[in-house]
Amino acid sequence: MMPAKILVIDDENLFREDLAKLLSRRGYDCKTAVDGNMGLTVAEEFGPDVILCDIVMPGQNGIELLGELLRICPECFVIMITAYGTIDTAVEAFRRGASDYIMKPLLIEDVLLKIERLIDHKLLNREIRFLKRQLHREIEGSLLIGESGQMQKVRELIRKVSTTTTTVLITGASGTGKELVARSIHKNSASAQEPFVAINCAGIPEHLLESELFGHTKGAFTGADTEREGFFEIAGSGTILLDEIGEMPLVLQSKLLRVVEEREFIRVGGKKSIPAKARFMASTNKNLEELVQSGQFRQDLYFRLAVFEIHVPSLKKRRDDIALLCEHLLKKLNKELKRNCRGLDNDAIRMILSYSWPGNVRELRNVIERAMILATGEFITPAELPPQIAGSVEFPKNSDDLRISVAAYEKEHIRRVLSAAGGNKEECSRRLGINASTLYRKMADLGMINNSSS
| Cis omega (within 30 of 0) for bond into 74 | no
Alpha-carbon distances, residue 230 vs 115, 240, 244, 248 (angstroms) = 51, 11, 18, 16
pLDDT mean across residues, the chain: 85
Q: What is the pLDDT of residues 430-446, one digit of tens each?
A: 888 888 888 888 888 88
* Rounded distance between C-alpha atoms, residue 164 and residue 367, angstroms: 37
Note the pLDDT of residue 297: 95
| CB of 146 closer than 8 Å to CB of 325 | yes
| CB of 28 closer than 8 Å to CB of 70 | no
Would you call 8 helix, strand, or coil by DSSP?
Answer: strand
Note the pLDDT of residue 121: 81
> Using 50, 70 and 90 to split pLDDT, how confident is the model at 241?
very high
Note the pLDDT of residue 405: 64
Note the pLDDT of residue 21: 93
Strand residues in 29-87 grouped as ranges (E)? 29-33, 50-54, 77-82
Please, what CATH class does the domain formed by 317-451 belong to?
A: mainly alpha
* Rounded distance between C-alpha atoms, residue 228 and residue 270, angstroms: 11
Q: Give residues with Cβ within 8 angstroms of 402, minimum separation 6.
A: 346
Determine the residue type at 162: S
Q: Provide CATH code, domain 5-125.
A: 3.40.50.2300
Q: What is the pLDDT of residues 136-161, one digit of tens each?
A: 444 444 457 888 888 899 999 999 99
* Rounded distance between C-alpha atoms, residue 308 and residue 9, angstroms: 54
Q: What is the pLDDT of residues 220-232, one digit of tens each?
A: 887 777 778 888 9
pLDDT at 96 over 60: yes
Note the pLDDT of residue 2: 67
For domain 145-313, the CATH superfamily is P-loop containing nucleotide triphosphate hydrolases (3.40.50.300)
* Rounded distance between C-alpha atoms, residue 139 and residue 192, angstroms: 13
Q: With 0.75 as the threshold, say if the pTM is over it.
A: no
> Using 50, 70 and 90 to split pLDDT, how confident is the model at 295?
very high
Q: How large a percentage of the chain has pLDDT more than 90? A: 39
pLDDT at 134 over 50: no
C-alpha closest to that of 72 among 94, 31, 117, 42: 42
Sorted by where each begins, the domain ranges of the chain are: 5-125, 145-313, 317-451
| Residue 71 burial class via C-beta count within 10 angstroms: exposed 0-12, middle 13-18, buried 19 and up | exposed
Assess whether the region 5-125 and the region 317-451 belong to the same CATH fold: no
pLDDT at 239 over 60: yes
Q: What is the pLDDT of residues 397-430, one digit of tens each?
A: 445 565 666 677 777 778 777 777 777 888 888 8
* Rounded distance between C-alpha atoms, residue 215 and residue 104, angstroms: 63
Alpha-carbon distances, residue 303 vs 146, 224, 450 (angstroms) = 30, 34, 49
Q: Give residues with Cβ within 8 angstroms of 39, minimum separation 6.
A: 7, 9, 33, 51, 53, 65, 69
* Rounded distance between C-alpha atoms, residue 21 and residue 29, angstroms: 10
Range list of H helices, 315-394? 322-337, 346-354, 360-374, 387-390
| CB of 236 closer than 8 Å to CB of 278 | yes
> Using 50, 70 and 90 to split pLDDT, how confident is the model at 318?
confident
> Using 50, 70 and 90 to split pLDDT, how confident is the model at 284?
very high
Phi-psi region of 433 (alpha: psi -120 to 50; beta: other; left: phi over 0): left
| Residue 420 burial class via C-beta count within 10 angstroms: exposed 0-12, middle 13-18, buried 19 and up | buried
Ordered DSSP codes for 264-288: EEE-BT--SEEE--SEEEEEESS-H
Q: Could you tell me how many residues make up the chain?
A: 454
Q: What is the pLDDT of residues 349-397, one digit of tens each?
A: 888 888 889 999 999 999 999 999 998 888 999 889 988 887 655 545 4
For the segment 295-310, the average pLDDT, to the nearest whole number, is: 95
pLDDT at 312 over 70: yes
**What is the 8-class DSSP label of residue 453?**
-
C-alpha count within 13 angstroms, C-beta hemisphere, residue 371: 30
Radius of gyration (C-alpha) of the chain in whole angstroms: 32
Strand-by-strand arrangement of the 29-33 sheet: 29-33, 5-9, 50-54, 77-82, 100-103
pLDDT at 339 over 70: yes
Note the pLDDT of residue 293: 95
* Rounded distance between C-alpha atoms, residue 168 and residue 159, angstroms: 13
Note the pLDDT of residue 173: 93
For the segment 173-192, the average pLDDT, to the nearest whole number, is: 91
Note the pLDDT of residue 83: 81
Range list of H helices, 47-189? 62-72, 87-95, 108-143, 149-162, 178-187
Q: What is the pLDDT of residues 25-59, one digit of tens each?
A: 999 999 999 999 999 999 988 889 999 999 988 88
| CB of 257 closer than 8 Å to CB of 298 | yes
* Rounded distance between C-alpha atoms, residue 224 and residue 218, angstroms: 5
